[in-house]
Amino acid sequence: MSGDGNCQFRAISDQLYQTPEKHKSIRKHVVYQLKACKGWYQEYVPMKYSDYLKKMRRQGEWGDHVTLQAAADCFGMKICLVTSFKDTRYIEILPKTRQQNADIFLSFWSEVHYNSLYQAPDTATFQPIPKRKKKHWLF
């Protein structure tokens, strides 16, 4: 995914439409969801909610955990997130009320970048991430 600040929305677009190019539409739907269901999300936003909505409308603004939840709710999908966090390598973001339509798979490099994940052609299922014996990261 392009690292232009839209990577979360591009990754979701790629999972839903097999192209990252519909990211503007994804962002628009997510912001509409945030606005329409303010009560669901407001307490998780560390600023004035109207300012947050204005910020999230802008192309290039980074998505966050709140926009991920809004995307799951808006599109009725489970978001399976593989992360670079040491203690939480896999997170499932479930839609609040809608029946689950699909699962999408994203990766998240801590506070930096989202990507769209696909199953490798020669594997039957995603394999669990093995636990590491080392307690530190090497970059």
Can you say whether the dihedral through the CA atoms of 96, 30, 77, 80 is positive or negative?
negative
Question: Does 113 participate in catalysis according to the annotation?
Answer: yes
Residue 80 burial by CB count (10 A; 0-12/13-18/19+): exposed, middle or buried?
Answer: middle
Question: What DSSP character marks residue 53?
Answer: H
Token pair in block for residue 22:
């519909």
- Point out the catalytic residue in the list 4, 51, 65, 103: 4
- Point out the catalytic residue in the list 23, 113, 122, 136: 113
- Point out the catalytic residue in the list 7, 14, 23, 73: 7
Residue with tokens 């909505």: 53
Token pair in block for residue 4:
């232009």
Give the catalytic positions in this structure.
Answer: 4, 7, 113
